[in-house]
Amino acid sequence: MGRQGDSPARGTASGSSSVRKPSAAVYRRRRLVVGGALLLVIALVVSGFALAAAFRGGSQQASSSQATSAGTPSTGPAASPSPATTASASATPSATPSPSAPATPTCNQNLVTVSAATDKPAYGPGENPLLTLKVTNGGTVPCEVNIGTSQMEFLVTSGSDRIFSSKDCQASSEDLVKVIAPGASETANFPWSRNRSADGCKAVAVAPGGGGAYYIFTAKLGSRASPKAVFQLN
């Protein structure tokens, strides 16, 4: 019995010692598997390069866009502003104009008047008259008036005879602009030496007559002339 049990062992030993070669179909399947794996690897490598190139292209495009928006001039035609830019520009508040100051009332120069006066109605021998020119603002607002010697004239006449003018021998001619308040006045005095004068300060030998003769004093300021002020020389 023990010997018969050894037969299967020998049969197994003899079966394992004989190695079977793979068939041609197995070889073809192995080649297909290896070839497919190789194609998959190649596809992954190519896809990786394409993806990297795509990332590099996107970075360059973004950089170019940033440079254009930063102010670098482009070589193509000028692009119209984007809606966002237009909305931003229209949303910018405009400067609110400041309220204008109320207009200052204009002075009526026609209400500025000139008057003439003497310190006495009559003068004895050797007394010199004091001639006074007075400028009054008869308006309701202040007025600027030139009351300089360039505008003033103290004129003495007797009938048609021109006796004296302060402009004939005036040493200097100056402007003096003053603001005269409503209802206020400015005055200028001129002591007359009872002498005659001529245009250009020419010498005049004859003196005005006395003995109770009457004379007229007219004060002038530019184009304004005062009413006549009459006085007497004795």
Averaged over successive runs of 10 residues, the pLDDT of the chain (234 residues) comes to 44 47 61 59 52 46 41 40 42 56 78 98 96 98 96 97 96 94 97 96 90 97 97 97
Question: Residue 234's pLDDT is what?
Answer: 94
Place of tokens 């010692």: 17
For residues 113 and 109, what is the distance between their CA atoms, to the nearest angstrom? 9
**Residue closest to 214 by CA, chosen among 198, 230, 192, 200:** 230
Buried b (16+ CB within 10 A) or exposed e, 58-68: eeeeeeeeeee
Q: Which residues contact 123 (CB under 8 A, 6 or more apart)?
A: 129, 231, 232, 233, 234
Stated pTM of the model = 0.56
Question: Residue 205's pLDDT is what?
Answer: 86
Question: Residue 224's pLDDT is what?
Answer: 97
Question: Residue 94's pLDDT is what?
Answer: 55
CA atoms within 13 A on the CB side of 225: 9
Question: Residue 186's pLDDT is what?
Answer: 97
Question: Residue 101's pLDDT is what?
Answer: 55
Question: Residue 105's pLDDT is what?
Answer: 78
For the chain, the DSSP string reads: -HHHHTHHHHHHHHHHTSPPPPPHHHHHHHHHHHHHHHHHHHHHHHHHHHHHHHHHHHHHHHHHHHHHHTTPPPSSPPPPPPHHHHHHHHHSPPPPPPPPPPPPPPP-GGGEEEEEEES-SEE-TTPPPEEEEEEEE-SSS-EEEE-STTTEEEEEEETTEEEEETTTT-S-----EEEEPTT-EEEEEEE--S----TTS----PPPP-SSEEEEEEEEETTEEPPPEEEEE-
For 223, other C-beta atoms within 10 Å of its C-beta total 8
**Residue closest to 197 by CA, chosen among 165, 152, 155:** 165
Question: Residue 213's pLDDT is what?
Answer: 96
Question: Residue 208's pLDDT is what?
Answer: 92
Q: Extract the tokens encoding 101.
A: 């100051």
